[in-house]
């Protein structure tokens, strides 16, 4: 038998999209109760974890902003440390050397860092042979201590996310063929805490009708639970695109986002929604092929100047699909 940790454990860490994001009032702990339908996408980072030669844990990042060694406060390294504390003496939680290939745009509303952290928790526990030593509830607590979006990635597949991000109800994947998704990420940062601060400030930040977002989100959750067909999800894109309470806040931080979203919607001839606090925008298609054709056309418009995007670099444009529950796990 091979010694634990010598065969690398590999995890795909998928991006997420918020199809809806309803935000309740600020709680006494400073967070907000959410009601959000989150789905994993086919775009994923790849995390590989093995036993380190010495101390401490290490993380090498490839892709994204170029190869570099991660800072100690990186979410993956924090996930290792928190998982190690949770394991305690139940297993030999030896130091880990990790390699992360970034494909998900960073700080984009796609949950890349949170997904990497969830993959790191899972991979670390498996490397240490401690997967059974930590209950599902403890895993959620470890994930939550890293960030509000992390627990979602422990589930796989579409999820109704409530509370601060820790109440998780798995929903069924839309029925029929995979739903195509076009995501476009302009090269501007939107800080999530800042977006929530703007939301709290009200006025410009509050949606026209706060109850409408919540009702749309509840309705979609009920429909997915009952088994919604992919084509029917795509048909609901118009109402879903209006069901994100952070749209106004994101546009208050990056005013050019408003015009950008309008132009993308006009060029695609489709409703365009925002994921999380942005700046990533999405459009839904009945198939991957249609999303790919639209992505190629949008990339052409960005190159020709017909689509002017905020930011120093051209926007990143991907065609992908809503992923099922098995995406977070692959064999080494």
265: left (phi over 0), alpha (psi -120 to 50) or beta: alpha
Indicate the SS3 state at residue 300: helix
φ, ψ of residue 27 in degrees (nearest 5): -90, 175
**Residue 130 vs 161, nearer CB to ligand C5P:** 161
| 31 belongs to the binding site for ligand C5P (CB under 6 A) | yes
| 148 belongs to the binding site for ligand C5P (CB under 6 A) | yes
Q: Shortest approach of ligand C5P to residue 32 CB, angstroms?
A: 4
* Identified catalytic residue from 45, 116, 122, 149: 149
Q: Shortest approach of ligand C5P to residue 27 CB, angstroms?
A: 8
Q: Shortest approach of ligand C5P to residue 175 CB, angstroms?
A: 30
Active site residue 65: no
Contacts with ligand C5P, 32-71, as mask; x by CB under 6 A: x-x-------------------------------------
Active site residue 33: no
Indicate the SS3 state at residue 27: coil
**Residue 125 vs 150, nearer CB to ligand C5P:** 150
Q: How far apart are the first and last CA of the chain?
A: 16
Using CB under 6 A as the binding rule, the residues of this chain from 177 to 196 that contact ligand C5P are: 192-193, 196
For the chain, where are the E strands, in sequence order? 9-18, 22-26, 32-51, 58-63, 68-69, 96-102, 159-163, 167-170, 180-185, 273-274, 281-285, 316-321
Among the listed residues 124, 114, 121, the one whose alpha carbon sits nearest the alpha carbon of residue 152: 114
Of the candidate residues 14, 151, 165, 315, the single one contacting ligand C5P (CB under 6 A): 165
Among the listed residues 46, 112, 109, the one whose alpha carbon sits nearest the alpha carbon of residue 74: 112
Of the candidate residues 51, 164, 172, 219, the single one contacting ligand C5P (CB under 6 A): 164
Residue 78 to residue 72: CA distance in whole angstroms: 8
**Residue 109 vs 315, nearer CB to ligand C5P:** 109
Q: By rule CB under 6 A, what count of residues binds ligand C5P?
A: 11
Q: Shortest approach of ligand C5P to residue 311 CB, angstroms?
A: 22
For 93-230, where are the E strands, in sequence order? 96-102, 159-163, 167-170, 180-185
Which positions lie near ligand C5P, rule CB under 6 A?
A: 31-32, 34, 147-149, 164-165, 192-193, 196
The catalytic residues are 16, 149
């Amino acid at each position: 038998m091979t010694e634990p940790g010598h065969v690398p454990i590999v995890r795909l860490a998928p991006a997420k999209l918020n199809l809806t994001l309803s935000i309740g009032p600020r709680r006494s702990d400073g967070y907000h109760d959410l009601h959000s339908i989150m789905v994993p996408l086919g775009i994923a980072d790849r995390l590989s974890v093995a036993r380190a030669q010495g101390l401490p844990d290490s993380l090498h990042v490839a892709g994204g902003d170029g190869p570099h060694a991660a800072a100690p406060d990186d979410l993956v390294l924090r996930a290792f440390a928190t998982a190690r504390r949770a394991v305690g003496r139940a297993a030999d939680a030896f130091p880990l050397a990790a390699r992360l290939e970034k494909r998900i745009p960073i700080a984009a509303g796609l949950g890349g860092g949170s997904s990497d952290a969830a993959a790191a928790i899972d991979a670390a526990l498996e490397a240490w042979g401690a997967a059974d030593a930590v209950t599902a509830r403890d895993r959620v607590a470890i994930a939550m201590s890293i960030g509000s979006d992390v627990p979602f990635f422990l589930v796989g597949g579409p999820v109704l996310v409530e509370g601060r991000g820790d109440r998780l109800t798995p929903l069924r994947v839309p029925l029929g063929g995979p739903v195509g998704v076009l995501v476009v990420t302009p090269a501007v940062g939107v800080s999530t805490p800042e977006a929530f601060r703007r939301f709290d400030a009200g006025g410009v930040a509050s949606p026209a009708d706060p109850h409408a977002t919540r009702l749309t989100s509840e309705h979609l959750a009920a429909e997915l639970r009952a088994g919604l067909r992919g084509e029917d999800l795509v048909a609901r894109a118009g109402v879903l695109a209006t069901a994100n309470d952070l749209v106004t806040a994101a546009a208050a931080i990056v005013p050019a986002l408003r015009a950008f979203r309008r132009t993308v919607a006009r060029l695609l001839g489709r409703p365009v929604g925002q994921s999380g606090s942005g700046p990533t925008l999405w459009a839904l298609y009945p198939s991957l092929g249609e999303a790919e054709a639209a992505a190629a056309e949008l990339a052409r418009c960005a190159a020709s100047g017909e689509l002017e995007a905020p930011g120093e670099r051209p926007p990143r444009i991907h065609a992908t699909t809503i992923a099922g529950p098995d995406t977070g796990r692959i064999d080494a």
